[in-house]
A and B are shown apart, each in its own frame.
Chain A
Amino acid sequence: MTISPIVELEQLGKVYPTRTGDVTALTDVDLRIDDGEFVAIVGPSGCGKTTLLKILAGLEQHTSGVGTLGGRELGSGAADVGMVFQKATLLPWQDVRSNVLLPVSLQRRPSKADRAAADELLEMVGLTDFASKRPHELSGGMQQRAAICRALVHEPSMLLMDEPFGALDAMTRDLLNVEVNRIWRETHKTVVLITHSIPEAVFLAQRVIVMSPRPGRIVDQVEVPFGPERTLELLGTPEFGALCSTIRRHFEKEAAA
């Protein structure tokens, strides 16, 4: 069985021209992500994590190097991805089900099958009873669950998440992490997760990509040896703690330098 890469980046760079001069957000990014893989990206604030995700999503253009996503050259139109932001960004004037169906309804009138798919996703995250409610009637964690459903409803080849749980409390965050792990195992989607939390990265990912501060580069890629199914007990194991410290040491070095 050969695993094909879904993402391949070579010497990818991004410079933002600004009024006060050019800002180099990314330099020499070499990255390969396999189909179905779960990758987490950690790095200090401003190191270009969001920029990298936006380039993958087709929301920003890279300025040097080459990259492909699903065999297509990056920068050639909208990518086949689902995106989850730090805020749930649900539309307050639509009910939860219509919000989940947004990626579909922007392309065509949702069919019965589309609606069924949305309801199935809502059931997977325990929001069945809230399908007809407005977003403001949901808690922050429930809103973010709905946002994940929305990112999956059009069956994208890849799920991109930019600090999706950064605004949530620790307990909700743990629960949602367990849920994301289950969703990943059930849907076999490729996931790229950006997070500020090293434990979250280690808990969810098969590989943790460590980035350096400006200009953003990949300084290390840490394989996570745990199996696909992750439970909260993992958080207390010495192996888990050791792996977190290994990654944390990168930032201590940066801070000392």
Chain B
Amino acid sequence: MSTLTSMRNARGSGRSGQLIGTLSVLAVVLLAWQFLPTALGTPSYVVPVLSDVLNALFDPEAFPRYLSNAGATMTEVLLGLGIGVALGLALAVTLAQLPRVYGVVFPYIVAIESIPKVAVAPLFVIWFGFGLPSKVVVVVLLAFFPVLVNTIHGLRSVDKDQIDLFRVNGASPLQLRMRLMIPAALPQIFSGLELAVANSMIGAIVAEFVGAQEGLGVLILQAQGRMETAAVFALLIILSALGIALNVLVRTVRKVVVNWEGR
């Protein structure tokens, strides 16, 4: 019992030690950011010091604009992510049941997987205009593939004996899918989801760069046009925070749902 407790303590202090290390790195970076540009004589339009960036970020006039545009970007991200993930899951489950069709379609999936899909963003702006739809379509495309590929992989690597176990006990095709295949594929499905989240942010911003009326991407381009480097940094901070928040959310859900992974 006492060894168990001490082991737990050791692991706990290891974890808090890690946290201290991570925070120290952050502190060093922030300090360098505040003092190094001035010390090196770097002009503020190249690298503005931290306090200028924070001033730009919390500028009472700009901040509400940042928030509403962040809202626009997140609408694109979440809509596209939702649709892309749903489509990816649905197609993966369908293809896993149709090995012949899968064999025919697979080369195309690999081909499309390996092209940089953000490059089609300009085309989508031509097709769907400067509003929300073109951004959502780009995000859908980028979120769809990692979910599709990872889910198919997860469904196909389900243990053959476990499938036999279900068959010998008279499981229906629906039971086989819902009670074995999908739960067994959950770890891979979540890996796909994590990739999809990262991709969605990229997709939304690039699509906004190409042509949009609102969103963080638009604000970044505007700030760049006015050479307001501090504002660009401020917007990048908002963007990063949103990306990190989404990622943490997915990982937390994963830990709760896939609670047998022990990680």
| Interface positions of A (Cβ within 8 A of B) | 54, 57-59, 78-79, 81, 83, 85-87, 89, 91-93, 102-103, 106-107, 134-136, 154
Which of B169, B179, B260 contacts A134, CB < 8 Å?
B260
User: Which DSSP category, helix, strand, loop or mixed, fits chain A's interface?
Assistant: loop
Contact with A along B147-185 (1 / 0, CB 8 A): 000000000000101101111111100010001100110
Given the interface pairs A78-B170, A106-B171, the reply to whether A136 lies near B164 with Cβ below 8 Å is no
Say whether B161 contacts A106, CB under 8 Å.
no
- By a CB distance below 8 angstroms, the chain A residues around B183 are 91, 93
- By a CB distance below 8 angstroms, the chain B residues around A85 are 161, 164-165
5 extra interface residue pairs, beta carbon distance < 8 Å, beyond A54-B164, A103-B169: A83-B164, A83-B168, A89-B165, A91-B183, A135-B260
Say whether B159 contacts A89, CB under 8 Å.
yes
Q: Determine the residue in chain A with the shortest Cβ distance to B165.
A: A89
| Interface positions of B (Cβ within 8 A of A) | 159, 161-162, 164-171, 175, 179-180, 183-184, 186, 258-260, 262
Given the interface pairs A134-B260, A136-B260, the reply to whether A78 lies near B161 with Cβ below 8 Å is no
Could you say which of A78, A86, A106 has the most chain B C-beta atoms within 10 Å of its C-beta?
A106
Q: Determine the residue in chain B with the shortest Cβ distance to A92.
A: B260
CA distance A134 to B260 in the complex (A): 8
Given the interface pairs A91-B183, A93-B183, A134-B260, the reply to whether A59 lies near B169 with Cβ below 8 Å is no
Say whether B165 contacts A93, CB under 8 Å.
no
Which of A54, A79, A91 contacts B162, CB < 8 Å?
A91
Could you say which of B167, B170, B259 has the most chain A C-beta atoms within 10 Å of its C-beta?
B170
Which of B162, B168, B186, B258 contacts A59, CB < 8 Å?
B168
Given the interface pairs A134-B260, A136-B260, the reply to whether A89 lies near B170 with Cβ below 8 Å is no
Chain A nearest CB: distance from B249 CB in Å?
A: 21
- By a CB distance below 8 angstroms, the chain A residues around B159 are 87, 89
Q: Determine the residue in chain B with the shortest Cβ distance to A88.
A: B161
Chain A nearest CB: distance from B167 CB in Å?
A: 6
Q: Determine the residue in chain B with the shortest Cβ distance to A147.
A: B165
